[in-house]
Homo-oligomer: A and B are copies of this chain.
Amino acid sequence: MTSARPTIKELARLSGVSVGTVSRALNGYTDVSAETRERVVRLARELDYTPAAAARTLVTERSHVIGLFLDTGEGHPDVQHPFFHEVLAGLKDMLGAAGFDLLLFASEQPGNGYGPHSYLKRARHHHVDGVVLMGTDASDPEVERLLRSEVACVGVDMSIGGANNRSVMSDNVAGGALAVRHLAELGHTRIATITGLIETAPARDRLRGYREEIQRLGLAYRDDYVAYGDYYVDSGSAGMEALLALEEPPTAVFAASDLMAAGALGAIGRAQLRVPDDVAVVGFDDIGFAALTEPPLTTMRQDKPGLGAAAGEVLVSLIGDEPDPQAAVTLPVELVVRGSTAGHGEQP
């Protein structure tokens, strides 16, 4: 039924003009007679003509495709953390509106043969106009090579340098501080934290915010109140268990991710303790299910679609020749108070 893709040559033949003219007409050049353009455009619509991206990329040096590296190393199931998906939604929308599609790098040896491709090679292979990195290990030598290259990169939740690279992330330091302040205002003085993967910038920043606020409040900073996690559920569970096993266990805990906070909730329950009465919990992210735990999670909300959109915008302006934007974009976070720190609905 549907015939093969018509090419620009077809259009030229059928409309009785040259391919050059067809191209110009379709691309809205001014030096085409209204009549010709009309005819060509109509024909193109009738035949459902689409330009071949490959051909265009070849001559234009622009693919209108943004590459996406999405990993969360350390053997964690990648493409798995809910946080990134919500960011991705924002990224996709923004980029789509700007005329870009998203290439999710999946293969380490695209096409046939040629052996495994490095990050840089994969980006060049598809001639992507820019690259977004999420959850990637910035200290990986291959990543560093990519960052040093001519490819425009923007990292979400990772701090990357370089002339044509940018970072976008939440104000994690402020977030950590805010979480602690909230708990302190509730009367807590024994406030612990469960960190994210400490190799990552957000984890370090949130920890720093935690520490600075603890000290600012005149509370004692205790090493044993810092449990090291990896953002995922199990580490939250384990971290909380360790904290509860202390001689003087905390009465409140700030987990650097909702997933870990959920794990902490579980551990607290298993210890026959109650949230928030025995120990209050605040998470980070405000991913979808944060409102669905029991009790619902108080958390520091990140503007996830906003992060994605910001990443897209930065990248687009990096690609174009617009005035150089700032080196890093930082988005504010917002405290969302729910049951895990607030009163307990049922009780009078």
A interface with B by C-beta (< 8 Å): 1-2, 4-5, 26-28, 48, 50-58, 63-65, 68, 77-80, 82, 85-86, 88-89, 92-93, 95-114, 117-118, 120-122, 124-127, 145, 148-150, 233, 262, 265-266, 269, 288-289, 292-294
Q: Are B107 and A26 in contact (CB under 8 A)?
A: no
Q: Which residues of B contact A2 (CB under 8 A)?
A: 120, 145, 148-150
What 8 additional pairs, Cβ within 8 angstroms, besides A50-B117, A78-B89? A27-B113, A48-B118, A51-B125, A54-B55, A80-B288, A96-B108, A100-B107, A101-B107
Q: Which residues of B contact A288 (CB under 8 A)?
A: 80, 82
Task: State in angstroms the CA–CA spacing of A56 and B88 once bound together.
Answer: 29
Copies of this protein in the complex: 2
Asked if A99 contacts B82 (CB within 8 A), the reply is: no
Contact, CB under 8 Å: A50 / B95: no
Q: Which of B51, B85, B101, B292 contacts A103 (CB 8 A)?
A: B101
Q: How far is the CA of A68 from the CA of B1 in the complex (A)?
A: 23
Name the B residues within 8 Å of A105 (CB-CB).
101-102
How far is A125 from B109 in the complex, measured between Cα atoms in Å? 23
| Residue ID in chain B nearest A295 by CB atoms | B294
Closest CB-CB distance, A11 to chain B, in whole Å?
12
Across-interface contacts of A127 in B (CB, < 8 A): 52-54
**In the bound complex, CA of A294 to CA of B127 (Å):** 48
Closest to A64 in B: B111
Contact B92 A79 (CB under 8 A): yes
Known interface pairs A103-B101, A106-B93; A58-B51 also in contact (CB < 8 Å): no
Query: How far does the Cβ of A65 sit from chain B's closest Cβ, in whole Å?
Result: 7
* B107 touching A150, Cβ below 8 Å: no
CB-contact partner of A99 in B58, B97, B101, B107, under 8 A: B107
10 CB-based A-B contacts, threshold 8 Å: A27-B112, A27-B113, A50-B124, A51-B125, A53-B125, A54-B126, A58-B58, A65-B126, A96-B107, A103-B103
Q: Nearest Cβ distance between residue A300 and chain B, in whole angstroms?
A: 19
Residues of B close to A95: CB separation below 8 A: 106-107
* Cross-chain contact of A121 among B50, B64, B93, B102 (Cβ < 8 A): B50
Q: Is the CB of B50 within 8 A of A58?
A: no
Closest to A312 in B: B106
- B97 A107 Cβ-Cβ under 8 A: yes
* Chain B residues with CB below 8 A from A118, complex form: 48
Cβ–Cβ contact B150 & A262, under 8 A: no
CB-CB under 8 A from A103, the residues of chain B are 65, 101-104
| Chain B residues within an 8 Å CB radius of A56 | 111
Report whether A121 and B48 are in contact in the complex, using a CB–CB cutoff of 8 Å.
yes
Are A92 and B80 touching (Cβ within 8 A)? no
Q: With a CB–CB cut-off of 8 A, which chain B residues contact A289? A: 262, 289, 292
Determine the residue in chain B with the shortest Cβ distance to A99.
Answer: B107
Task: Give the Cβ gap from A348 to chain B, nearest Cβ, in Å.
Answer: 13
Q: Which of A97, A109, A288 is packed against the most chain B CB atoms within 10 Å?
A: A288
A51, B111: Cβ atoms closer than 8 Å? yes
- Contacting residues, chain B, for A63 (C-beta < 8 A): 54
Asked whether, in the complex, the Cβ of B150 is within 8 Å of the Cβ of A113, the reply is no
